[in-house]
Structure 1
Amino acid sequence: MAKILITGGAGFIGSNLAHALVKDNDITIIDDLSMGKEENIADIDVTFYHHDVCDSAFMHKLLSENKFDYIYYLAAVSSVADSVVRPLETHRVNQESVVDTLEYIRTEKLPIKKFLFTSSAAVYGNLPDFPKTETSHVDPLTPYAIDKYASERFTIDYGNLYNLPTVAVRFFNVYGPRQNPESPYSGVLSIITECMKNNKPFTLYGDGLQTRDFVYVGDVVNALIKLATETNESTVYNIANGGETTLIDVIRTYEDISGIKLEITYKDSRHGDIKKSKADISKLKNVGFEPQWSLEDGLRNYWKYYSEN
């Protein structure tokens, strides 16, 4: 039985990961509940701390007392727009807390098996390289993307310079159960789902022809566990489906599944919004990962979950 720490573990991806790992492992979760919800983990047996990862004294004590085997670092202010409004505060969570944790592991020689940091496809920006490979040019356009890129590089460099077992991932558009629709900057599919269920208009920024690589959270969780437990190289991996769908096509597919017509209000694109996004996932496939969920199957499962909860 491994000892596992999931920062941000009451959030969308973190709680799905905790559900997948809890059966055979001893799980500790830390989350300040700014985006996560305690109800996401209420039905599983975990040790939960309602706390801020920026409290380094608390984090150091937790790390030294528990000697975790695996650390999945998902804690973040994941709103791009929030990072534009509050660049310094979000920097503390999205970069400083990560480096502080890595440095404590290094200086205290903590015997971890893997530190996995979750970065974002936002690091690629709007550059023309397509599809995005891990060696594509990066052009982070917001404080959020800058911090994600810097923390990802710190994670990899701590692996290569200090021989810590680390790995980083770049999430593309993840969707699925337990996604929080309450922030205006949540994943677009959680907001669409909320609008459909409550018969509210959905605000679409741009013309709807922007493309995204949507990946179901079940596939993301499988990829995270595989990369934490079955890889040895300190490097970065795209986590995505490897497909490309326009937002308007996703909406039409979802309407067919739910049987609900979405009322759409069109507005101008937001500054920093990305036009085209698609991942090359050959590197992830090379370690034995294959996506199991098509967009249609994932949306059907998401709608079923949402309708029942």
Structure 2
Amino acid sequence: MKKRILITGGAGFVGSHLCERLAQDNNNEVYSLDNYFTGSKDNHVDNVTYIEGDTANIAKLIKFTPDMVYHLGEYSRVEQSFDDIDKVWKYNKDGIFAVLEFVRKAGCKILYAGSSTKFGDGGLGRSASPYAWTKATNTELVMNYGNWFNVPYAITYFYNVYGPREIESGKYATLIALFKEKMKKGEPLTIVSPGTQKRNFTYIDDIIDGLILVGENGYGDEFGIGSGEAYSILEVAEMFGGKIEMLPERKGNRMVADVVTAKTEALGWKPKHKLQDYIESFTSTL
């Protein structure tokens, strides 16, 4: 019997890579549910069935019983969430309730992609933005469904993912892709003040290794998937070597986040890629 795997957000940056890896195994039937808010049909890969719609409507849209659900399909930007609070609520709050009810009735395991903002600034980061708060409280609801209804779950936390298929421009662009795009155009690298805020940048392949490992073998909370190497945003800009333009401070911008990877490493995971190598490989082509 083939294993039926549903990935919410399967047309997004991380989700498309997860779809691609899982679909390479002939023992898997892989399905994606995505509303294409930040996902793209350009990210579609072979041997995946794509279903369009919101996670809030998962019960109507998914006509089969999966063996596993990877729930990645949520709103995932910090600073922008202040302006998008209606979307944050719809995609993160209405969505998580519908998905948890779906997996409870299906009797399958859920891997929930939490947010490392929960650990930011010694725990104060969990309420620093609408995005951070919804993600932090969603992890509590996932755990409660495990306790209330015996729903098997694992909760992972990503740390600043970079690599192919990142969003390169516009309101939802991610930092490394944004810097790459600005370098190509000869534009200054814009940094939100003070620039000393530190991040742990993790390559997409390392994230996918961790997701699959935790999906298959992990149960419970605190499966962080992040590189131990931390750099300030200024240090990252200096690696690229471009001109730097400082922007005013913004709400919700945490200074540090503890990397919680011990439980993931205990399963055999280790990051294999370094940000500096990735940036050097890119700048050598300019």
* TM-score normalized by the length of structure 2: 0.91
Structure 1 residue corresponding to 2:155, chosen from 159, 168, 190: 168
RMSD of Structure 2 on Structure 1 (CA): 2.1
Matched residue type, 2:155: A
**Structure 1 segment 11-50 matched on structure 2, within 5 A:** 11-24=12-25, 25-41=28-44, 43-50=45-52
Q: Is the 2:117–2:257 Cα contact (8 Å) retained in structure 1? A: no
Whether 1:89 and 2:87 are equivalent positions in the alignment is yes
Aligned equivalents of 1:225, 1:185: Cα separation in 2: 26
**Structure 1 segment 131-170 matched on structure 2, within 5 A:** 139-170=126-157
SS in 1 for 2:37: coil
Change (3 A) 1:17 1:188: same
Q: Which aligned runs of 4 or more in structure 1 are off by greater than 3 angstroms?
A: 136-139, 297-301
Aligned equivalents of 2:267, 2:188: Cα separation in 1: 42
SS in 1 for 2:223: strand
Q: CA deviation at 1:116?
A: 0.7
Q: Which runs of 5+ in 1 are unaligned?
A: 128-135, 256-260
Q: String of CA shifts for 1:229-257, please: whole Å, max 9, x gaps.
A: 012x322322211221122222232x2xx
Q: Is the 1:125–1:141 Cα contact (8 Å) retained in structure 2? A: no
* Percent of matched pairs sharing the same residue: 28
Match of residue 107 from structure 2: 111
SS in 2 for 1:139: helix
Q: CA deviation at 1:138?
A: 5.9
Match of residue 263 from structure 2: 283
Aligned equivalents of 1:75, 1:89: Cα separation in 2: 12
Q: Is the 2:120–2:255 Cα contact (8 Å) retained in structure 1? A: no
Matched residues, number: 282
Q: Is the 1:80–1:185 Cα contact (8 Å) retained in structure 2? A: no
Matched residue type, 1:96: D
Q: CA deviation at 1:278?
A: 4.1
Q: Is the 1:211–1:275 Cα contact (8 Å) retained in structure 2? A: yes
Change (3 A) 1:209 1:82: closer
Q: Which runs of 5+ in 2 are unaligned?
A: none
Matched residue type, 2:40: K
Aligned equivalents of 1:138, 1:204: Cα separation in 2: 20
SS in 1 for 2:111: strand
* TM-score normalized by the length of structure 1: 0.84
Structure 2 residue corresponding to 1:250, chosen from 228, 236, 240: 236
Match of residue 60 from structure 1: 59
Matched residue type, 1:269: E
Aligned equivalents of 1:184, 1:174: Cα separation in 2: 17
Q: String of CA shifts for 1:199-245, please: whole Å, max 9, x gaps.
A: 222211113222111111111001000001012x3223222112211
Match of residue 190 from structure 1: 177
Q: CA deviation at 1:20?
A: 0.9
Aligned equivalents of 1:178, 1:189: Cα separation in 2: 11
Q: CA deviation at 1:89?
A: 2.9
